[in-house]
Every structure is written in structure tokens, then in C-alpha cells.
């Protein structure tokens, strides 16, 4: 097991250079001081109102994501690798989505099976031949990354639809600056506070050609009862744009307008946090009360930009994920800088046979699952759970993939019993605009709070950490 502060099992007493000052600070800081700061951080989060709702949970409105006060630290050289790999990945993803909805060269070349695209529920035929500004489909991506040793990073998932979590990244930094100025003084930490400015610049850069020199951008939310509503309102405030619901927008003559106290105002870019299915009841789900009737007609007329574009779900499908090394090679002519986790596609009979025979050793996931739901961690499951999951797998094998159980790295974490290692992943946020790609230096570190757990998702009890990328 690789610990990011103390290295491998064989060298536990050798503190890695990036963590040296933190190690000294922890040695100087009394446990009761740490515990007091931990409780103070929780109180601050409660006062600010940072909550996370879990559907079906009667107490959802009162739940906080646990916050760990010990930062995760990445050296400049480690970040260089991640940065290059993330930029490479988002270039390939945008090229892939553009190709799938236009020339389909990758299918003609036989790199991917056609049914994996055309029979996929997240493939949107409405986007066939649809031109989007500057050929950018995924403007905001959250790429989940894990590591297994000092040198090796794996991409776990590509979140290319409506990735969440950036508000927690920003609030985590603000809380840490407030509570631990003396620790910050020992490091040169790259800032993340400019993310809202970068996001707004990215969104404005992809406005349609008919937009003014200062495009109007809005954030479209499903509303107050959505699990990520806090983030939606937080980001709209930080960006200085209007937070709107579907009922606040109207389409006239294939142009989107926002209702204001002074009348209708044209909207050029919609940063939408609503899934495709609910965007336009005239095109997708007719029972949707969240979207805007006629929105797709304005979109197809190139009078509004949707970020992210409709149909990007095809890029974060977990079966498509398994082809990412080939996708990178096809579009960029490059090998991936960040590795893929080896993946068995249960839709293929030989893969299914292997998974069923080794399911107790693997992590098996629903292709379109998220939030830690719909998956089986074989080594942690009992026989009855495994048997039930096998039955589900046999009945719909195309809906599942499986991967080996990775030994995720650990970071020191402040828990009730003191400081202990806990497993972590990282969600860096990548912005792709008209002429540049920007990666926020850090991202959201998610931590599995229960001892031995590998599930970092907030909906499953996971917490978060501030992520420090060291300036050179």
C-alpha cells in the first residue's frame, strides 16, 4: 500500500519531500488542537450552509460532506504529469464526441463496435451533424484520478456531462486559509481561487457567432431540491451570472431569452446542470418540468451554446472508457500519459465468463452508474450479496464492466482516534474553451473516511480534503 506522505510499506519512516513541512507541523501540533480545528471547520461549513442531499434520505437536507483538515499535497513534478495527461485526455474526448456525431471515422476504422454507440442510451441522434461553436463539446470535465505508487496515476472515470464538486474545492481552500495560516506559511501553494474567472472566460469564449462582444451567460439549475443545488447557487454567485430555472427562460424565434423585471433579455451561453433528458420537453422527455420548450431549436440554429453540449454522455460511458487508450491513439497519435484501469466489458462473452469466475476479486460497476451506487466491491462483499449481483449481471451483462481492485494510495487523515491513513482519489477540473485548455492546480480530493473503505463518494459517506499543488 502506497502512502503519499510516508511512501511504501518498506519505507514508512521516510517522509516524502512534499510532506516534510506538514510532518514537522503535525509533530508540533497537539492532538487537542487538531480536534478543536476539526470541529471548528465543521461549524464553519454548517454556518455557510454547505450540504449535500442524497435522494431518498429523509435527513438529506441536514447532511454535510465530512471535511478533513489535513491537506493532500502534490509536488510540482507530480502535477506536471497530471496536467499533461488531463490536457491530452480532454483533447481526445472532444475529438471523439465531434467524430461520433459527424464523420464517424473511428467506427469506420473498426476501433469501436457500432452497437456500443448506436444502441447506447446516452447517444443523442438529435446531435447528428449538429455543429457546436469551435468544435468544443466538453467545456467542463471532472476527470477522476487515483494512484497506486509514487509514479503511477490511473484515470478512474471521465465525467463529461455535468461534473460536480468544484464548490467544495473552493470552499475547502477558503476554510484551510482561515484555520491554518501558519501551515500555509511553510509552503508555496498554487491558488485555486481564480477558477470562477477561468470558468466564465471559458464559457464566454464559446458563445455563438451571433452573440455580442460581451455574451450573456446563465447557469441553469433543476432547482432547490437538486442534490447539488448549493453548488449551483454558489457558482452563479461567484461567476456573477444569473441562476435560472427552466421557467425563467423562454424561446422566441429560435432565440433564448431570460425573463427579467425589465423584460426579456437574450441569453447566449447556458451552463446547464440539467441532464439531457430534461432539457427540452419538445425533444426529450415530454413530462419534464425542468427544461425549456424549444431550447433545442435555438441550439440547432446556433443561437445559444449549451455547456456541456448535448450528447456528451457518450464520452463518460464506462464501456467507452475502456477504449480510451485506442481513442487517444486514433485521434492524437499518442499513448496515454495517464493510464486506464484494466477493464472487462461484460457485454463480451469471454469477459463475462472471467468476471463471473473472479467476481469476488473485482470491482463490478454499472456502465451508467454514479455516486458509488450500482457497484460491487468483491473483496468486501458477502456471499449472498455476490450471488444476488451475479444474477443481475447475467440478466443484463451489457450494463456492466469490471475492474481489478486497485490498492488506492492513502493520505494522513484526521479521524476521531487521531491521525490515520485513509484511501483517496482526485477530481481535477478541466476547462476547454475556444483557444485554450485550463486545468485548476489541484482539484477535489475525496477520501474514504471508514477504515479500509475504498468508496470515496460523498453519497456513500466519503469526505473531502483540500488539495495543495506546490509552486516551483
Where do the structural domains in the chain lie, given as residue ranges?
9-208+304-341+406-469, 345-404
d(CA 304, CA 296): 9
Give me the chain's average pLDDT, please: 92
| CA nearest neighbour of 137 among 225, 206, 197, 183 | 206
Tens of pLDDT, residue by residue over 324-378, are 999 999 999 999 999 999 999 999 999 999 999 999 999 999 998 765 667 899 9
Residues 6+ apart with CB under 8 A from 10: none
| CA nearest neighbour of 466 among 4, 102, 67 | 67
Higher confidence at residue 410 or residue 54?
410
The fold of the 345-404 domain, in CATH, is Dna Ligase; domain 1 (3.30.1490)
8 A C-beta contact, residue 304 and residue 298:
yes
d(CA 328, CA 330): 5
Tens of pLDDT, residue by residue over 314-328, are 998 999 999 999 999
Q: Is the pLDDT of residue 440 over 90?
A: yes
Q: Is the pLDDT of residue 84 over 80?
A: yes
Rounded average pLDDT over 44-68? 66
User: ∠ CA(234), CA(235), CA(239), 5° rounding?
Assistant: 125
pLDDT score at 51? 59
Neighbours of 443 (CB within 10 A): 28
Classify strands 269-272 and 305-307 as parallel, antiparallel or unpaired: parallel
Enter the pTM of the model: 0.93
Tens of pLDDT, residue by residue over 199-258, are 999 999 999 998 999 999 999 999 998 888 989 999 999 999 999 999 999 999 999 999
C-alpha cell, 66: 465530512
Specify the DSSP class assigned to residue 442: S
8 A C-beta contact, residue 145 and residue 154:
yes
Residues 6+ apart with CB under 8 A from 95: 331, 332
Tens of pLDDT, residue by residue over 448-467, are 988 888 888 776 678 999 99
C-alpha cell, 39: 470541529
Amino acid at each position: 500500500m502506497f502512502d503519499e506522505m510516508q511512501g511504501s510499506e518498506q519505507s514508512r519512516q521516510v517522509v516524502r519531500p512534499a510532506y516534510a513541512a506538514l510532518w514537522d507541523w503535525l509533530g508540533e501540533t497537539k492532538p487537542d488542537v487538531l480536534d478543536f480545528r476539526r470541529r471548528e471547520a465543521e461549524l464553519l461549513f454548517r454556518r455557510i450552509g454547505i450540504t449535500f442531499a442524497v435522494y431518498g434520505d429523509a435527513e438529506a437536507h441536514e447532511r454535510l460532506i465530512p471535511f478533513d483538515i489535513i491537506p493532500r499535497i502534490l509536488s510540482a513534478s507530480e502535477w506536471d504529469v497530471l496536467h499533461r495527461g488531463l490536457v491530452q485526455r480532454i483533447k481526445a474526448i472532444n475529438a471523439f464526441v465531434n467524430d461520433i456525431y459527424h464523420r464517424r471515422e473511428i467506427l469506420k476504422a473498426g476501433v469501436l463496435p457500432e452497437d456500443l454507440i448506436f444502441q447506447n442510451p446516452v447517444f443523442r441522434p438529435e446531435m447528428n451533424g449538429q455543429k457546436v461553436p469551435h468544435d468544443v463539446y466538453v467545456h467542463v470535465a471532472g476527470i477522476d484520478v487515483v494512484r497506486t505508487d509514487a509514479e503511477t496515476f490511473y484515470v478512474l472515470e471521465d465525467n463529461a456531462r455535468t461534473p460536480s464538486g468544484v464548490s467544495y474545492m473552493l470552499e475547502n481552500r477558503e476554510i484551510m486559509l482561515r484555520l491554518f495560516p501558519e501551515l500555509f506559511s511553510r509552503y508555496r501553494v498554487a491558488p485555486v481561487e481564480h477558477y470562477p474567472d477561468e470558468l466564465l472566460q471559458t464559457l464566454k469564449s464559446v458563445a455563438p457567432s451571433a452573440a455580442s462582444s460581451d455574451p450573456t451567460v446563465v447557469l441553469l439549475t433543476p432547482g432547490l431540491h437538486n442534490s447539488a443545488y448549493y453548488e449551483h447557487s454558489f457558482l452563479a454567485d461567484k461567476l456573477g451570472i444569473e441562476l435560472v430555472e427552466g421557467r425563467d427562460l423562454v424561446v422566441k424565434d429560435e432565440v433564448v431569452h431570460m425573463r427579467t423585471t425589465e423584460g426579456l433579455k437574450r441569453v447566449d451561453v447556458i451552463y446547464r446542470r440539467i441532464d439531457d433528458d430534461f432539457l427540452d420537453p419538445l425533444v426529450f422527455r415530454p413530462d419534464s418540468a425542468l427544461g425549456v420548450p424549444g431550447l433545442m431549436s435555438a441550439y440547432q440554429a446556433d443561437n445559444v451554446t449549451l455547456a456541456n453540449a448535448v450528447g456528451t454522455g457518450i464520452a463518460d460511458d464506462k464501456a467507452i472508457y475502456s477504449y480510451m487508450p485506442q481513442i487517444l491513439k486514433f485521434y492524437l497519435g499518442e499513448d496515454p500519459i495517464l493510464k486506464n484501469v484494466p477493464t472487462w466489458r461484460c457485454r463480451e462473452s469471454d469477459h463475462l465468463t472471467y468476471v463471473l469466475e473472479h467476481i469476488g476479486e473485482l470491482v463490478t460497476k454499472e456502465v451508467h452508474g454514479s455516486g458509488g451506487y450500482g457497484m460491487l466491491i468483491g473483496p468486501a462483499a458477502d456471499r449472498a450479496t455476490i450471488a444476488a449481483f451475479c444474477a443481475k449481471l447475467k440478466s443484463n451483462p451489457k450494463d456492466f464492466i469490471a475492474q481489478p481492485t486497485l490498492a488506492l494510495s492513502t493520505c494522513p487523515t484526521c479521524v476521531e482516534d487521531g491521525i490515520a491513513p485513509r484511501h483517496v482519489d482526485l477530481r481535477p477540473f478541466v476547462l476547454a474553451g475556444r483557444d485554450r485548455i485550463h486545468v485548476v492546480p489541484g482539484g477535489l480530493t475525496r477520501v474514504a473516511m471508514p477504515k479500509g473503505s475504498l468508496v470515496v463518494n460523498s453519497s456513500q459517506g466519503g469526505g473531502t480534503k483540500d488539495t495543495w499543488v506546490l509552486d516551483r
